[in-house]
Amino acid sequence: MDRSTSRIWQLGELLWSLSGRLDGSAQQAEWPFLRDILLWLYEKFPTRRAQLRGVIGRQRERHGGGKPLKSAGRFVHKSAPLAPLLQVLGPIIRGFQTPLGEAQRRLLTDTLLPLHKPNDWLLWDRQTPLISMYHKELVHCMLLVLEKEPRLSGRSVEALCGYLPQSHESNTPKEVLVIHELAEIMKVMQPEDLKGCMQGSQERVDNAHQRHMVRLFTSQNAQTLQSVLQLWKDGEDLVEGC
C-alpha cells in the first residue's frame, strides 16, 4: 500500500470511528472533541465533505445500526450528541449557495423542524425540557437557513406552532423556548409574510399562529403569558415598521 492509499484508508477508518461515537455511545465530555475534529476534517478535506455530511446526518451506518439525524425528531435520548452535531452543521449551512436547492430546503423541513417535537423532560425535578439540550444550536441553524431563504419562514412558523405543547401537556419551559424562537424567526420574515402571520392575510400560517396564540393567551402560567404577550407586541412593532 503506497503512502497516498494508506492516507485515504486511515482517513476512512477515522470517519467510521467518529460515526461510531456519534450514535450515543460517547460520553458528554467527549462531545467538544467530536465537534472540533469534525469541523477540522470538514475544513481540511474538501473532497471528503459529502462523506462527512453523511456521518453527521446518519450518525452510524455500520452493521445497519445507525439512525439518521432527522430520526431524532421521532426519538431523542439523553445521550444523543445533537448539540455538537448541530454546531458542525452551522458552518455547513453558512456555505450554502442561494437560491437554496431542494435538498437544502428538506434539511429545514425534514430535519431541523422535527427536532422541535420532543416534549419529554431532561430533568423533571428541575423542570428542564429535553429540547433544551440542543435548542440554542437548533435555533442558530434554523436562522441560518431562513436568512438565506426568508420565504421559508412562514412554513417554519406554522410547523413550530404545531410543536408547541398541547394544553394537556404541561411543559412551560419548552413553551417559553419555542415562543422565543418564533420571535427570532419573525425578525427574518419577509414583510408580506410577517403581516400575514400577525394580521391574517396569509390564511394557513395565520390559522396555526393565531389558534395557538389564543390558547397561550389564556394560560394560567405567568411565564408563558409574559412570553407570548412580548411575542405579540414585538410582532406588531415589526409589522408597523414594514
Closest CA to 143 of 107, 180, 181, 111: 181
List the domain range (segments joined by +) for residue 189.
152-242
Residues 156, 130: one domain? no
* 35, 84 Cβ separation under 8 angstroms: yes
The verdict on residue 5 lying in a domain is: no
* 202, 193 Cβ separation under 8 angstroms: yes
pTM, entire model? 0.80
**Facing residues of 132 across strands?**
none
Q: What percent of the chain is predicted at pLDDT more than 70? A: 67
**Facing residues of 170 across strands?**
none
Query: Using one digit for the tens of pLDDT, what is the confidence trace for 211-221?
Result: 666 666 556 66
Residues 223, 141: one domain? no
Query: Using one digit for the tens of pLDDT, what is the confidence trace for 163-202?
Result: 888 766 678 899 889 989 988 998 888 766 665 555 544 4
- What are 226's three cell numbers? 409574559
Considering 130, 148, 166, which residue would you say is the last residue of a domain? 148
How many domains are there within the chain? 2
